[in-house]
């Protein structure tokens, strides 16, 4: 009875003679293996619809990258590194040129996906795709924080100088008391209460929230905001595709039959 094996893999280890199966062949007389081109005798399989001998099928199964906890951790670490590089590149471009162009989101998504694919040695799957999408969004959105801080620093008004005059002789009333009736009568208004200062961690949290929401805050300008979101989601799709796991369908085993000879007249 034929069995079906479905394996997930992105790529096989480099410098290894991996069986290749591109187009489907169909059974007939004198079948050959799509990988080694040798005649099929005895047991054979179908790999993605192509005929394969037992030896090449076994070799392919052994070379498929295996998913594991360590592979996932390496992929996440590499993905974080790619996201940080993408964030720095995105922010640096905006700070140097003064132009915020959403097309860099595509490069960030490609970089994150490529880094995770490299870290996992070709293993992919749904959890890899989810992490790649989140890292891409975080890198692109958080790049707005250093740009925002730079703009705030440039637009900050210079502090105004305050000059305080002192009376020329001891006991003489100053100019403020001479002109201010409240001061002369001793009715002074209470000083304004100082504003509470924000601690470091609270400031970091507020900046992080602003950064994560920045792609949607851009919708204040609907035209450019919608275009930026579309480009961002395309970049996320790049990362999603690179960390996916295409299916390799191995169906079999089957038993080949020797060709029947027509009876001679």
| Model confidence, pTM | 0.63
Mean pLDDT of the region 242-248: 81
Q: Is residue 24 part of a domain?
A: no
**Confidence band for 265, pLDDT divided at 50, 70 and 90:** low
Alpha-carbon Rg for the chain in angstroms: 34
The alpha carbon of residue 227 and the mean position of all alpha carbons in its chain are separated, in whole angstroms, by 19
- Its domain, for residue 147, covers 69-153+204-242
Q: Is residue 177 part of a domain?
A: no
Q: Is residue 175 part of a domain?
A: no
Do residues 126 and 251 both lie within one domain? no
Tokens of 184: 């002369």
Do residues 37 and 149 both lie within one domain? no
Minimal CA–CA distance to 32: which of 241, 260, 234, 256?
256
Do residues 140 and 78 both lie within one domain? yes
Q: Is residue 84 part of a domain?
A: yes
Range with the lowest mean pLDDT among 62-76, 177-191, 221-235? Answer: 177-191
Phi, psi of 45 (to 5 degrees): -130, 170
Do residues 85 and 147 both lie within one domain? yes
Q: Give tens-digit pLDDT for 160-190.
A: 555 555 555 555 555 444 455 554 455 555 5
Separation of alpha carbons 15 and 130, rounded Å:
30
Do residues 102 and 132 both lie within one domain? yes
Which pLDDT score is estimated for 12? 43
pLDDT at 260 over 70: no
Number of structural domains, the chain?
2
Q: Is residue 83 part of a domain?
A: yes
Do residues 7 and 115 both lie within one domain? no
Order of strands, sheet of 43-47, starting from the edge strand that comes earlier in the sequence: 3-8, 247-255, 43-47, 50-53
Do residues 133 and 221 both lie within one domain? yes
Tokens of 114: 């490529």
Do residues 132 and 236 both lie within one domain? yes
Exposed / middle / buried, residue 7 (Cβ in 10 Å: 0-12, 13-18, 19+): middle
Mean pLDDT of the region 123-132: 93
Separation of alpha carbons 254 and 251, rounded Å:
8
Q: Is residue 197 part of a domain?
A: no
Q: Is residue 165 part of a domain?
A: no
Do residues 103 and 218 both lie within one domain? yes
Separation of alpha carbons 72 and 82, rounded Å:
15
Do residues 78 and 122 both lie within one domain? yes
Do residues 117 and 76 both lie within one domain? yes
Do residues 76 and 34 both lie within one domain? no
Q: Is residue 21 part of a domain?
A: no
Instruction: Tell me 39's DSSP state.
Output: B
């Amino acid at each position: 009875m034929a069995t079906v094996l479905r394996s997930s893999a992105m790529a096989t280890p480099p410098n290894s003679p991996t069986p290749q199966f591109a187009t489907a062949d169909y059974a007939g007389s004198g079948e050959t293996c799509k990988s080694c081109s040798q005649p099929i005798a005895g047991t054979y399989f179908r790999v993605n619809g192509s005929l394969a001998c037992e030896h090449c099928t076994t070799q392919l199964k052994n070379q498929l990258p295996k998913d594991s906890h360590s592979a996932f951790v390496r992929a996440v670490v590499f993905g974080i590194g790619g996201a940080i590089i993408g964030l720095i590149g995105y922010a640096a471009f905006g700070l140097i040129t003064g132009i915020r162009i959403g097309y860099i989101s595509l490069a960030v998504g490609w970089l994150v996906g490529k880094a995770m694919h490299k870290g996992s040695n070709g293993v992919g799957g749904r959890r890899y795709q989810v992490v790649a999408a989140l890292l891409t969004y975080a890198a692109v959105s958080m790049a707005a924080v250093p740009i925002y801080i730079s703009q705030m620093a440039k637009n900050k008004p210079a502090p105004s100088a305050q000059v305080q005059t002192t009376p020329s002789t001891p006991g003489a009333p100053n100019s403020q008391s001479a002109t201010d009736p409240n001061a002369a009568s001793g009715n002074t208004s209470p000083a304004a209460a100082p504003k509470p200062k924000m601690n470091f961690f609270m400031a970091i949290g507020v900046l992080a929230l602003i950064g994560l929401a920045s792609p949607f805050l851009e919708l204040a300008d609907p035209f450019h905001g919608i275009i930026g979101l579309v480009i961002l989601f395309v970049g996320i799709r790049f990362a999603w595709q690179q960390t996916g796991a295409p299916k390799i369908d191995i169906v079999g085993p089957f038993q080949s039959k020797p060709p029947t000879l027509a009876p001679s007249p």
